[in-house]
């Protein structure tokens, strides 16, 4: 644990927070730990929407089924 903390430029107590799932640890610290463990390449998969089927389903559900343009009440195109 001390070696990983040293390579990640963080403290052992911060590593313990990461292991406990503390949400107050910054993503930069997580990236440093992943780098120290040789797992940084996996971080790109987190932000890839193609890996998030639940997020895609939720986003599709929020899309309007049909869009209608509102006509302007005070303007005329004829001039």
- The domain limits of the chain are 1-43
Q: How does DSSP classify residue 12?
A: H
> What pLDDT sits at residue 74?
56
Task: List, for residues 10-47, the tens digit of each pLDDT value.
Answer: 999 999 999 999 999 999 999 999 999 998 887 877 77
Mean of the per-residue pLDDT values for the chain? 84
Tally DSSP H helices, then E strands, for the chain.
Answer: 5, 0
Compute the average pLDDT of residues 55-62. Answer: 82
pLDDT category at 56 given cuts 50, 70, 90 is: confident
């Amino acid at each position: 644990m001390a070696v990983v903390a040293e390579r990640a430029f963080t403290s052992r107590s911060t590593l313990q927070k990461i292991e406990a799932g503390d949400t107050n640890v910054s993503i930069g610290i997580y990236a440093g730990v992943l780098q120290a463990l040789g797992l940084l390449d996996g971080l790109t998969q987190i932000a890839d929407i193609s890996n998030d089927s639940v997020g895609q389903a939720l986003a599709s559900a929020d899309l309007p089924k049909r869009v209608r343009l509102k006509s302007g009440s005070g303007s005329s195109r004829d001039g």
